[in-house]
């Protein structure tokens, strides 16, 4: 009887393990960038924001770019769209150090109760270690991510695509947080943490 | 069964950890770990080691270079780098032992780089410690060089300078470093004082082209002027140049030299390159001037983080400074090296 119960439990744990394995893989794959009709990598999302006006979305997204990209001089804000160019770093997986940087363009457009954003124009610059033990851009020019496979190995390429996808997803999450908040309303002063009174007991 | 379960749970957990790993958007990068491992085989055609430049010394032997281990961390505006090396290349062939006292003479500190730095502003940086020299084209780390054997300019110049330096970036295209360093090159501790002045002007005249004009001068260390430049002319072709002139503080002598480094990537895994060098030892009160030319043909064959470096080298002296297979003096020497360098 105990043996049967043991085998039953083991089977359950095995199934859960396999489930976790596939869930993890599926989650990792969701981060992948996709190619658009011009064969350029793009991360594209449309997000519904019921009850939030175009004006609020505009103000919220302007607040988002000013908060996330302080000092960035490429920001272009119009009545219905925002465009910004920036970059992020990629890292090696075995031990952590910078492997390169990816420049990108972020576009945000909004209309009644929804907005869309997409990141594209991904361009990769490999990093190399200099004599001081610091990883810096190599002398090679930027390589469009679409053609980077001709310059770097398959494994590295897959890693850059995955990291770019993860970055886009993270940035999209942050944008959603900003879009959902009312940044135009006057902010309440930060609440002080409750103090413990020890002289009355 | 239990083992399979454990394995599955570990792999699943790893997958989740990987999926959750997000790209860092703040300036506080993670603790950076880097390094390399290198090994080589050399065959000097005379049957014995002949060419006196740095590293790859052992003839007809599968020998080791070094294991290099570095850490770097930046928090806000403050950073440190600590880089230790173990093995002939990273110990007695490139760095000093101990502090020179009898009791400590054989105690290697293994230190290649050990410094702290602080960004006063986005453009102005202060750094202090024991640092790889700012002079020259080639470096100690095998991952920083295209050729595995080294030039006479590298071997004769400084490897490290301990001191304090300030760097100001006027723009992406121009920066200036000025600093004060220990009285001698390649020492952890100064002999008398901190009296070597060093400066570096960095110029980037075009995309892919950088040029460094360097000077280090002091009453003990002498004076060296150095030009180091590299230009990625096309995506496949890169040209490097190093020129230097050195005058010791006392006794005359010194050297002049120039080296050219053309490199051509023939595929994403294979790059072919040459190093042509002319090196002249200046006359002293007891010896006339002498010169040597050297031509090195090298391939870099990449397999992921591993690079195979087959290399053939021909040196030709003005005088009979080498020995042939019979031990008789000769003007020329040649060697074949096959090295493997793993970078992480």
Highest mean pLDDT among A48-57, A96-105, B34-43: B34-43
pLDDT digits (tens, 9 = 90+) for B164-223: 999 999 999 999 999 999 999 999 899 999 999 999 999 999 989 999 999 999 999 999
Lowest-confidence pick of A46-55, B81-90, B233-242: A46-55
Lowest-confidence pick of A3-7, A35-39, A105-109, B22-26: B22-26
pLDDT(B143) > 60: yes
pLDDT(B4) > 60: no
Measured in angstroms, the CA of B23 and the nearest CA of chain A are apart by 5
DSSP B11: H
pLDDT digits (tens, 9 = 90+) for B304-326: 899 999 999 999 999 999 999 99
Q: Other CB atoms closer than 10 Å to residue B212's CB: what's the count?
A: 20
pLDDT digits (tens, 9 = 90+) for B36-86: 999 999 999 999 999 999 999 999 999 999 999 999 999 999 999 999 999
Tally C-beta pairs within 8 A across A and B.
127
pLDDT(A48) > 50: yes
pLDDT(B274) > 70: yes
Q: Label residue A201 by pLDDT band (50, 70, 90).
A: confident
The CA distance from B309 to B240, in Å, is 18
Q: Return the higher-pLDDT residue of A193 and A122.
A: A122
What domain count does chain B have? Answer: 1
pLDDT(B257) > 60: yes
Measured in angstroms, the CA of A195 and the nearest CA of chain B are apart by 31
Report yes or no on B20 lying in a domain: no
**For residue B28, what pLDDT is reported?**
60
Q: If you average pLDDT over residues A20-47, what whole number do you get?
A: 73
Q: Label residue A79 by pLDDT band (50, 70, 90).
A: confident
Q: If you average pLDDT over residues A91-104, what whole number do you get?
A: 88
Structure-block tokens of residue B253: 């002598």
* CATH code assigned at B115: 2.40.160.10
Does residue B298 sit in helix, strand or coil?
A: strand
Query: Which residues from B are below 8 Å from A152, CB to CB?
Result: 268
Report yes or no on B154 lying in a domain: yes
Q: If you average pLDDT over residues A83-93, what whole number do you get?
A: 92
Report yes or no on B43 lying in a domain: yes
**For residue B16, what pLDDT is reported?**
41
Show the domain range for B269: 26-343
Q: If you average pLDDT over residues B134-163, what whole number do you get?
A: 97
| Percent of chain B predicted with pLDDT > 90 | 81
Q: If you average pLDDT over residues A167-190, what whole number do you get?
A: 80
Q: If you average pLDDT over residues B138-151, what whole number do you get?
A: 97
Pick the CATH number of A30-179 from 3.30.530.80, 3.30.2350.10, 1.10.10.10, 3.40.50.720: 3.30.530.80
**For residue A28, what pLDDT is reported?**
47
Report yes or no on B200 lying in a domain: yes
Q: Label residue B163 by pLDDT band (50, 70, 90).
A: very high
Task: Tell which phi-psi region holds residue B98, choosing left (phi > 0), alpha (psi between -120 and 50) or beta.
Answer: left
The CA distance from B114 to B177, in Å, is 18
Give Cα A48 distance to the centre of its chain. 19
Residues of A with CB under 8 A from a CB of B: 10, 13-14, 17-18, 20-21, 23-25, 27-28, 31, 68, 88-92, 94-98, 129-135, 139-141, 150-153, 155, 163, 166-167, 169-171
Q: Label residue B251 by pLDDT band (50, 70, 90).
A: confident
Q: What is the ipTM of this complex?
A: 0.84
Report yes or no on B12 lying in a domain: no
**For residue B19, what pLDDT is reported?**
39
**For residue B22, what pLDDT is reported?**
40
Lowest-confidence pick of A126-130, B125-129, B209-213: A126-130
DSSP string, B131-165: EE-SSSS--SSGGG-SSSS--HHHHHS-SEEEEEE
**For residue B96, what pLDDT is reported?**
86
- Counting beta carbons within 10 angstroms of the beta carbon of residue B117, is it exposed (0 to 12), middle (13 to 18) or buried (19 or more)? buried
* Domain spans of chain A, in order of start: 30-179
**For residue A187, what pLDDT is reported?**
55
**For residue B105, what pLDDT is reported?**
72
Lowest-confidence pick of A9-13, A192-196, B297-301, B330-334: A9-13
B138 touches B228 (CB < 8 A): no
A49 touches A177 (CB < 8 A): no
Minimum CA–CA partner of B135 in chain A: A131
Q: Label residue B117 by pLDDT band (50, 70, 90).
A: very high
Distances in whole angstroms, Cα of residue B80 to Cα of each of A88, A164, B52, B117, B126: 22, 28, 35, 6, 12
What mean pLDDT is reported for chain B? 91
Q: Label residue B21 by pLDDT band (50, 70, 90).
A: very low
B183 touches B190 (CB < 8 A): yes
Cross-strand partners of B38: B341
**Inter-chain residue contact A24 with B15, CB threshold 8 Å:** yes
A-facing residues of B in 100-119 (CB < 8 A) are 112-113, 115
Considering only CB atoms, A17 lies closest to which of B8, B30, B139, namely: B8
Minimum CA–CA partner of A94 in chain B: B344
Q: Label residue B18 by pLDDT band (50, 70, 90).
A: very low
Report yes or no on B14 lying in a domain: no
Highest mean pLDDT among A16-30, A71-85, B238-252: B238-252
**For residue B55, what pLDDT is reported?**
94
Burial B230-248 (b: 16+ CB within 10 A, else e): bbbeeeeebebbbbbbbeb
């Amino acid at each position: 009887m105990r043996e049967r119960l043991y085998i039953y439990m083991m089977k359950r744990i095995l199934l859960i393990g396999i489930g976790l394995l596939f869930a993890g893989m599926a989650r990792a794959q969701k981060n992948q960038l996709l190619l658009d009709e011009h064969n350029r990598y793009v991360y594209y999302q449309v997000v519904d924001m019921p009850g939030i006006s175009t004006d609020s979305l505009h103000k919220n997204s302007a607040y988002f770019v000013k908060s996330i990209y302080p000092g960035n001089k490429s920001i272009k804000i119009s009545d219905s769209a925002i465009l910004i160019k920036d970059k992020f770093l990629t890292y090696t997986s075995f031990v952590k150090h910078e492997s390169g940087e990816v420049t990108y363009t972020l576009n945000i457009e909004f209309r009644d109760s929804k907005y869309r954003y997409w990141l594209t124009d991904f361009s990769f610059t490999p990093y190399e270690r200099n004599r001081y033990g610091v990883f810096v851009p190599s002398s090679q020019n930027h390589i469009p991510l679409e053609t980077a496979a001709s310059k770097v190995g398959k494994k590295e390429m897959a890693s850059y695509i995955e990291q770019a996808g993860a970055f886009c997803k993270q940035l999209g999450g942050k944008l959603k947080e900003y879009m959902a908040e009312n940044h135009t309303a006057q902010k309440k002063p930060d609440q002080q943490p409750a103090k413990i009174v020890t002289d009355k007991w | 069964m239990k083992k399979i379960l454990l394995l599955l749970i570990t792999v699943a957990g790893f997958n989740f950890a990987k999926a959750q790993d997000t790209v860092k958007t703040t300036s506080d990068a993670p603790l950076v770990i880097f390094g390399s491992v290198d090994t080589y085989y050399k065959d000097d055609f005379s049957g014995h080691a002949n060419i006196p430049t740095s590293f790859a010394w052992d003839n007809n032997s599968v020998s080791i270079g070094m294991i290099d281990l570095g850490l770097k961390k930046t928090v806000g505006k403050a950073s440190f780098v600590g880089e230790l090396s173990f093995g002939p290349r990273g110990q007695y062939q490139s760095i000093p032992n101990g502090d020179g006292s009898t009791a400590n003479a054989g105690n290697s500190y293994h230190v290649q780089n050990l410094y702290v730095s602080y960004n006063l502003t986005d453009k102005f940086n202060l750094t202090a410690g024991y640092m790889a020299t700012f002079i020259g084209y080639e470096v100690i780390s095998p991952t920083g060089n295209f050729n595995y054997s080294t030039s006479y300019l590298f071997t004769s110049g400084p490897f490290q300078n301990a001191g304090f330096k300030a760097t100001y970036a006027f723009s992406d295209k121009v920066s200036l470093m000025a600093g004060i360093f220990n009285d001698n090159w390649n020492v952890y501790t100064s002999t008398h004082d901190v009296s070597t002045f060093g400066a570096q002007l960095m110029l980037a005249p075009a995309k892919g082209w950088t040029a460094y004009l360097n000077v280090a001068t002091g009453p003990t260390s002498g004076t060296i002027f150095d030009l180091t430049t590299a230009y990625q002319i096309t995506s496949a072709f890169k040209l490097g140049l190093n020129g230097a002139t050195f005058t010791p503080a006392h006794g005359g002598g010194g050297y002049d030299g120039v080296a050219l480094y053309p490199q051509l990537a023939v595929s994403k895994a294979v790059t072919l390159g040459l190093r042509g060098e002319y090196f002249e030892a200046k006359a002293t009160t007891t010896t006339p001037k002498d010169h040597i030319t050297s031509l090195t043909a090298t391939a870099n064959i990449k397999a992921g983080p591993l690079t195979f470096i087959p290399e053939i080298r021909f040196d030709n002296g003005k005088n009979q400074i080498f020995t042939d297979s019979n031990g008789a003096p000769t003007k020329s020497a040649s060697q074949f090296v096959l090295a493997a360098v793993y970078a992480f």
